[in-house]
Amino acid sequence: MAIKIGNLAPNIKLPSTSGSIFDLSVDKKDKPIIIYFYPRDFTSGCTAEACEFRDMFSYFKEIDMEVIGISRDSIETHLKFKTQHQLPFELLADVDGKTAQVYGALIPFVKLTKRVTYLLNKQHRIVGVFEDMFGATKHIDEMIKKIKINGNLL
């Protein structure tokens, strides 16, 4: 089950395609951010979702909104995926699935990451969440709606 709206987002410390360890509380302090969990690089749904975030990236940048993608893939796979699809945002490697589990984005037993997207305000409180395993591109539309509704809370 996804984390509830209003809760403080758990901190994230994971390897990033930037070459460093991403630390939510430090790297994005006082910044609103979209964090999206997805199953695997190079699958059709995940590629469509990442490319939709890419195509809408200028909208997010205009409103000073960061985007981060997280899956259980390795940094090496993420780098290939990011390069091939020209993704302008960082991908984080949650290889052991512990971060996905804390965020309610891990399917037990099969250890597959669910497709869950979170909108965090500047204080990193969750102000929007959308979960739909099969509606990959719906996540972007839902986040834009939630940004418009919560604009003053971001």
**Which pLDDT band, with edges at 50, 70 and 90, does 109 fall under?**
confident
Q: What is the pLDDT of residue 137?
A: 83
Please give the residue range of the domain that contains residue 146: 36-153
- Number of domains composing the chain: 1
Q: Are 142 and 128 in contact (CB under 8 A)?
A: yes
Q: Are 106 and 100 in contact (CB under 8 A)?
A: yes
Q: Is the dihedral of CA 92, 149, 45, 39 positive or negative?
A: positive
**Which pLDDT band, with edges at 50, 70 and 90, does 154 fall under?**
low
Q: What is the pLDDT of residue 153?
A: 66
Q: Is residue 23 part of a domain?
A: no
Q: Is residue 136 part of a domain?
A: yes
- The CATH code of the domain that includes 102 is 3.40.30.10
Q: Is residue 77 part of a domain?
A: yes
The predicted-structure confidence for 122-141, as pLDDT tens digits, reads as follows 999 999 999 988 888 888 99
For the chain, what percent of residues have pLDDT higher than 90?
82
Active site residue 51: no
Q: Is residue 9 part of a domain?
A: no
The predicted-structure confidence for 49-66, as pLDDT tens digits, reads as follows 999 999 999 999 999 999
Q: Is residue 69 part of a domain?
A: yes
State the chain's mean pLDDT as an integer.
93
Q: Is residue 110 part of a domain?
A: yes
* Of 9, 12, 33, 46, catalytic: 46
Q: How far is CA 77 from CA 56, 74, 90, 91, 109, in A?
A: 23, 5, 13, 10, 23
Q: Which helix (H) or strand (E) holds 53?
A: helix 44-55
**Which one, of 125, 154, 151, 122, lies nearest residue 30 by Cα?**
122
